[in-house]
Structure 1
Amino acid sequence: MSSIVLRSRIISKACRSKIINRRVYSSEAVSSSSSSNPSKETIIASQSILSDHSAPPPPPPPPPAALEVAPEVSGRKSWSFLKYGLIASITGAVGYTGYLSYKCSYEEIEQKAKALRAAANYTPSEDASDVDKYRGLLYSAAMTVPAKALEAYLDLRRLVEENVLEFTEPTSDKLLPDLHPAEQHVFTLVLDLNETLLYTDWKRERGWRTFKRPGVDAFLEHLAKFYEIVVYSDQMNMYVDPVCERLDPNHFIRYRLSRGATKYQNGKHYRDLSKLNRDPAKILYLSAHAFDTSLQPENCVPIKPYKLESEDTALLDLIPFLEYVARNSPADIRKVLQSYERQDIAKEFLERSKDYQRRMQEQRQQGRFWRR
């Protein structure tokens, strides 16, 4: 590198001395021959000086990459703007569609879509001016695209809701066959399985085991004389059928309903008693989780959950109340259950029965006193 710098300095000094010497020679020539042709010598001298000077090199042309930077950057910015704008539009449309699906029902959206359809089918009157007709044509064309999009959304939502209903709604609007005319006065006793009639437990050394609640056999045998007994569980059919076969070998349970007959709502399977094809005023739903698993709390009869207690008598304690209801046939069982205000029905019924007997005994004693 140092040798290159030294060489360039020597060359520049040599050129400079050569130019000075030529200038000196040209000036002497001019002074000696100025009388003959001064203008020509001056021109020749200037040309020789100019020819000796090395013209400064032109600036190097920009590389091809530099020439293409500006258009490429602008193209990238345009594409990025278009891409993110498209993503934002799709995201907004999907979000608004989800909001409509959550907030509004199909019928509500259908009602709101009428105005958009009318705008898309707008036609100006015949006596309107050309300007009004042109405006109406533009307005109708502008509303056609949103109207078509809304129509496609409604068709898709209707198809989705029809498929979803197969999994969230009971399999039929009439889960039980029609009641025989001779049994129209009979009440329907709906029973849950888990922690009501039995308890299922799992341990590593023995796996799954199902335990029958104390008093189940006597409970079913006695109440089958007064009630139409139905098991309504949120378990799968492959579990309900074999369990009921072992639980009720004498077939006191008339019908069995499993998960397919429940209503799936808010992540839970609910018993929808309105689908039983029975008079709601004559339905009792007995469960350890009655108010949490039924859509009709006014028909619920709560019972203490069974947790493998050896001295459990909850089922047997309920027999007097259920037999009293079946024998007296109240017009609406919902009003009777409402009077207990979600209390322990077996215990409260026993207290009311004792109070009733005490009052009846007092009346009989007063009647004997007046006869004397």
Structure 2
Amino acid sequence: MCCCLVQSELDDDANNPKSICAKATLDSEENTDNHIVTTPHDNIPRLLGPIHRLDTGKKCLVLDLDETLVHSSFRAVAGADFVIPVQIEDVVHFVYVAKRPGVDEFLIEMAKHYEIVIYTASLNKYADPLLDLLDPQKTIRYRLFRESCAFYEGNYVKDLSVLDRDLSSTIIIDNSPNSYLFHPENAIDCSSFIDDPRDRELDQIGSFLTGIKDAKDVRGICHQWRDWPVINPIEEEDRNERR
């Protein structure tokens, strides 16, 4: 569902980042015919529809799912927020999902300032029902799954250039550097969330995103999120313009 996991790895998934994945029988790594590209920026379709009237003037916030907003496991987890049934080869498996602390508030608050897009390497048979539960307020405007990723040098890469959004106003949040291989200057490199109830990283990221929502160009300032508000890239941008 998120990356690719063969049957023999299922018993070892609980503490492995991005471990809840489809088995090879669901989506073979050797068959990439359904993926958009095998090299960056080939002639490929635009993935997003028109900007909703409520998102006019907002920047585009692209969010990863697994280990960024949630952590999922095939193993039963006490206190899981959601349990998602997924059918694999006529057998129903249950995926136990823990939400990253603060994710509910994060989605609601960010939707006030950004057009929210989920872009995940997970399969939609797992991610779609999960997102229905994760986002009851319908803050997410678009959902993109594995088939929308670029398969490049063995990685599922999220190619922001095919979203049909201005790259100067597009931010991706992802725990995997391979996911934003084509656009590292647009990335907020969050840590991997597994099961730490003390994790409050989304609070820091949300505060930073609110602070830069009016930035003229997000490229090159996203990496400063950990230093916010001690370092304010908007104030630095204004000072540079006055010089």
Are the aligned partners of 2:63 and 2:118 in contact in 1 as well (CA < 8 Å)? yes
- 1:293 matched to 2:179? The reply is yes
Q: Deviations over 1:312-354 (max 9, x none)?
A: 100012111100111xx2221103236x3xxxx23x113225x
Alignment of 1:332 with 2:217, yes or no, is: yes
User: Paired residue for 1:178?
Assistant: 50
Give yes or no for contact 2:168–2:216 (8 Å, CA) kept in 1.
yes
User: CA offset at residue 182 of structure 1?
Assistant: 7.7
Aligned to 1:188: 60
1:212-231 correspondence to structure 2 within 5 Å? 212-231=99-118
Alpha-carbon separation, structure 2, partners of 1:299 and 1:238: 28
Match of 2:131, SS state, is: helix
**Contact 1:168 1:265 (8 Å CA) reproduced:** no
2:123 counterpart (228, 233, 236): 236
Deviation at 1:266, TM superposition (A): 1.5
User: Unaligned regions of 5+ residues in structure 1, if any?
Assistant: 1-162, 357-372
The Cα RMSD (Å) is 2.6
Structure 1 residue aligned with 2:75, among 179, 187, 203? Answer: 203
Q: Output the CA distance in 2 between the equivalents of 1:204 and 1:249.
A: 24
Higher relative contact order (CA 8 A, sep 6+): 2
Q: Deviations over 1:50-69 (max 9, x none)?
A: xxxxxxxxxxxxxxxxxxxx
Matched, 1:321 2:208: yes
Q: Of 229, 235, 238, which aligns to 1:350? A: 229
Against the structure 1 CA distance between its residues 232 and 182, is the aligned structure 2 distance closer, same or farther, given a 3 Å change threshold?
closer
Could you tell me whether the CA contact under 8 Å between 2:155 and 2:178 is conserved in 1?
no
Find the residue that maps to 1:244 and give its secondary structure: helix
- Kindly indicate whether the alpha-carbon contact (under 8 Å) linking 2:37 and 2:150 is maintained by their aligned counterparts in 1: yes
Distance 1:167 1:242 in 2: 21
Which residue of the partner structure matches residue 277 of structure 1? 164
Matched length: 183
Q: CA deviation at 1:183?
A: 4.6
Say if 1:269 and 1:231 are closer, same or farther in 2 by CA, change over 3 A: same
- Structure 1 length normalisation: TM-score? 0.46
Which secondary structure does the structure 2 equivalent of 1:246 belong to? helix
Task: Letter of the 1:236 partner, please give it.
Answer: L
Assess, with a 3 A threshold, how the Cα gap between structure 1 residues 183 and 247 changes in structure 2: closer, same or farther.
Answer: closer
> Deviation per CA, 1:71-107, whole angstroms, max 9, x where unpaired?
xxxxxxxxxxxxxxxxxxxxxxxxxxxxxxxxxxxxx
Structure with more of its chain in strand, by fraction: 2
Q: Say if 1:350 and 1:277 are closer, same or farther in 2 by CA, change over 3 A.
A: same
Residues 223, 323 of structure 1: 8 Å contact kept = yes
Task: Give the ranges of 4+ consecutive aligned residues of structure 1 lying more than 3 Å apart after TM superposition.
Answer: 163-168, 180-184, 204-208
Structure 2: runs of 5+ lacking an equivalent: 1-30, 79-93, 236-243
How far apart are the structure 2 equivalents of 1:308 and 1:229? 24
Q: 1:193–1:233: 8 Å Cα contact kept in structure 2?
A: yes
Residue 304 of structure 1 and its aligned partner are, at CA, apart by 1.5
1:185 counterpart letter in structure 2: G
- Per-residue deviation at 1:251? 0.6
1:139-154 equivalence runs, <5 A: none
**Pair 1:262-2:141 in alignment:** no
Deviation at 1:213, TM superposition (A): 0.9
CA 257–164 in structure 1, closer or farther in 2 if over 3 Å, else same: closer
Cα 1:203–1:214 change in 2 (3 A) is: same
Residue 139 of structure 2 aligns with an amino acid whose one-letter code is: F
Are the structure 2 counterparts of residues 204 and 296 from structure 1 closer, same or farther at C-alpha, using a change threshold of 3 Å? Answer: same
Q: Secondary structure at the match of 1:306?
A: coil
Are the equivalent residues in 2 in contact too, given 1:172–1:261 (CA < 8 A)?
no
Residues 349, 266 of structure 1: CA spacing in aligned structure 2 closer, same or farther, 3 A cutoff?
A: same
Q: Assess, with a 3 A threshold, how the Cα gap between structure 1 residues 173 and 205 changes in structure 2: closer, same or farther.
A: closer
Query: Given the alignment, which residue of 249, 270, 276 partners 2:136?
Result: 249
1:166 to partner: Cα distance: 4.8
CA distance, structure 1, for counterparts of residue 56 and residue 231 of structure 2: 29
Aligned-partner residue type, residue 218 of structure 1: E
